[in-house]
């Protein structure tokens, strides 16, 4: 009996569970709950018969039937949900009839086009262009929406703040050449004259391919030191490092046009570019002088030009009245000389001639080679110079002057070619204001202001370092092209070197 009761109860539970519905979104829409199924009745108790006094068994009557189970109470219906119409505030699409929640309101569609909103004042719920000048979602960057579903700077129209369609003003890109402008900043070139002007190398603005204002790039002028650059061609110095024009250094192989006329990457003065990175003189130069020992005395002359130079009317002398040759008064003492090169003599382009102040034999004993010319008419080892000199002629060890000059044989004045004073200036030349015939000499540097080179020591030569004569005054003098040959600084232009190197350039790196 107890078992049967358990089975009946289990059946009620099964039926009750079967009547349950899974929760879903439909419940939000107010569906009414169904009534519960009635439970099964409980079985009645078996009837029990009365006892009999007879021997036969008596049967009891049947038991009463069980009371039927009460019907289950119907479930309460869920609360019905209300969908939101377009334009009402929302947080998610499921709240809206349109299923679209855009810009925090229910919207007719997704409204995902540029510069559009579903929450424009007066038109909420419908996708509408954002008003001109606004951009709440920063869709146009620094620009603004144009009120037509686009950005001002890309709509092909002249918008507020622009100087021309889609350019100029504070926000849009600068305008190309020829576009209308109001100010320089409206233009790519930075130059505005009613319309944007093309870049030029004279507009006082860095534009085009210039690396600084009006220089570098395709401009003819290089930029000064400290300016921006891309390569050496952008710089006056020809040196661009770390994107900046740097001072050039003589010997770096780049011509710094501000201070150099050449730069061949070394400081050799005798290779067509001076140690100071200047083109050599346009005339002959005294290049080496040896004063001791006596047998080795010599004067060397260098031709730095690209052409051979005739020497027929060229002279060398070591006394300060040499210029009197034009009047016949240049008569040297027995210890001095006034020597002219023989007819048809010349010095080749970039070449040397060497005059031994003794004989070719003594010169060869000292240097192992013959000189170009000598002072000994009896020595056939070299052509002899012409003029006034003798066996005792030569250079004083302690101090002297040597001049190379030119005279055509008829003019009133001589023309200085090059000049050296060494040791001291006691015998320095100064022709200032001297009149000969109808002509007057221009200014030489006063003797007291001339700078002598060092006095050579034994077995040392005086060697020129500066073939460009950089320290020399280049105008108002008595030399070729108006140079004042007496103005050259002997200490910077000349140096001392061991021995001599006749008819050859000095050792590399000899000169500072």
Q: Which of 28-37, 125-134, 220-229 has the lowest mean pLDDT?
A: 28-37
Average per-residue pLDDT in the chain? 85
pLDDT, one tens digit per residue, over 235-259 is: 988 889 899 998 878 788 877 776 7
pLDDT given for residue 65 in this prediction: 44
Please report which helix (H) or strand (E) contains residue 18, including its range: helix 2-18
Query: Is 0.95 topped by the overall pTM?
Result: no
pLDDT band at residue 49 using 50, 70 and 90 as cut-offs: very low
CA distance 355 to 451: 25
Q: What would the two tokens of residue 212 be?
A: 């600084």
Whether the pLDDT of residue 8 is over 70: the answer is: no
Strand partners, 129: 116
Q: What is the pLDDT of residue 512?
A: 58
Q: How confident is the model at residue 511 (pLDDT cuts 50, 70, 90)?
A: low
> In whole angstroms, what is the distance from residue 175 CA to residue 197 CA?
10
Give the residue-averaged pLDDT of 53-65. 39
**pLDDT (0 to 100) of residue 60:** 40
User: Which of 512, 323, 354, 357 is CA-nearest to residue 434?
Assistant: 323
- pLDDT of residue 207 exceeding 90, the answer is yes
pLDDT of residue 51: 36
Q: How far apart are alpha carbons 482 and 404 in whole angstroms?
A: 15
277 versus 85: the higher-pLDDT residue is 85
The CA–CA distances, whole Å, from 380 to 377, 385, 402, 416, 467 equal 8, 12, 26, 30, 32
Residue 490: in which H helix or E strand, if any?
helix 490-493
pLDDT at position 408 over 90: yes
Q: What is the pLDDT of residue 62?
A: 42
The tally of CA atoms less than 13 A away on the side-chain side of residue 491 is 4
Return all residues near 298 (Cβ < 8 A) that are at least 6 apart.
288, 289, 290, 354, 355, 356, 357, 363, 371, 500, 502
The answer to whether the beta carbons of residues 111 and 144 sit under 8 Å apart is no
Provide mean pLDDT across the span 455-476: 90
Grade residue 81 by pLDDT with cuts at 50, 70 and 90.
low
């Amino acid at each position: 009996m107890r078992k049967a009761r358990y089975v009946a109860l289990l059946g009620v539970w099964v039926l009750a569970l079967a009547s349950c519905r899974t929760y879903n979104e439909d419940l939000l829409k107010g569906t009414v709950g169904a009534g519960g199924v009635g439970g099964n009745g409980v079985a009645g108790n078996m009837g029990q018969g009365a006892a009999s006094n007879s021997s036969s068994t008596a049967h009891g009557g049947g038991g009463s039937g069980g009371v039927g189970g009460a019907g289950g109470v119907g479930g309460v219906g869920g609360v019905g949900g209300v969908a939101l119409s377009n334009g009402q505030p929302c947080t998610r699409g499921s709240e809206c009839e349109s299923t679209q929640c855009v810009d925090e309101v229910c919207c007719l569609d997704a409204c995902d086009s540029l510069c559009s909103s579903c929450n424009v004042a007066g038109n909420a719920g419908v996708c509408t262009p954002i008003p001109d000048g606004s951009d709440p979602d920063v869709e146009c960057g620094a620009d603004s929406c144009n009120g037509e579903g686009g950005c001002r700077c890309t709509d092909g129209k002249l918008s507020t703040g622009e100087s021309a369609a889609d350019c100029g003003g504070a926000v849009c890109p600068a305008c190309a050449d020829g576009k209308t402008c109001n100010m320089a900043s409206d233009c790519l070139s930075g130059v505005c004259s009613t319309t944007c002007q093309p870049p030029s190398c004279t507009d006082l603005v860095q534009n085009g391919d210039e690396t600084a204002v009006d220089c570098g790039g395709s401009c003819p002028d290089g930029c000064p030191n400290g300016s921006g650059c891309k390569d050496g061609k952008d710089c006056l110095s020809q040196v661009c490092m770390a994107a900046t024009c740097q001072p050039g250094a003589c010997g770096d192989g780049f011509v710094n046009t501000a201070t150099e006329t050449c730069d061949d990457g070394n400081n050799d003065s005798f290779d067509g570019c001076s140690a100071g990175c200047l083109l050599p003189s346009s005339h002959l130069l005294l290049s080496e002088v040896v004063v001791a020992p006596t047998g080795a005395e010599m004067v060397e002359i260098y031709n730095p030009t690209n052409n051979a130079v005739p020497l027929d009317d060229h002279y060398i002398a070591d006394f300060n009245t040499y210029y009197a040759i034009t009047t016949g008064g240049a008569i040297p003492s027995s210890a001095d000389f006034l020597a002219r090169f023989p007819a048809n003599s010349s010095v080749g382009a970039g070449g040397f001639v060497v005059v031994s102040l003794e004989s070719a034999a003594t010169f060869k004993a000292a240097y192992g080679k013959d000189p170009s010319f000598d002072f000994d008419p009896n020595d056939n080892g070299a052509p002899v110079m012409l003029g006034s000199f003798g066996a005792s002629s030569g250079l004083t060890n302690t101090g002297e002057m040597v001049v190379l000059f030119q005279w055509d044989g008829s003019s009133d004045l001589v023309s200085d070619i090059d000049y050296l004073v060494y040791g001291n200036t006691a015998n320095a030349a100064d022709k200032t204001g001297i009149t000969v015939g109808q002509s007057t000499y221009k200014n030489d540097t006063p003797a007291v202001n001339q700078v002598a080179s060092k006095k050579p020591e034994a077995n040392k030569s005086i060697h020129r370092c500066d073939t460009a004569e950089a320290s020399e005054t280049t105008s108002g003098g008595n030399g070729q092209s108006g140079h004042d040959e007496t103005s050259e600084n002997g200490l910077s232009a000349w140096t001392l070197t061991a021995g001599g190197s006749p008819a050859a350039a000095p050792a590399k790196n000899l000169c500072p």
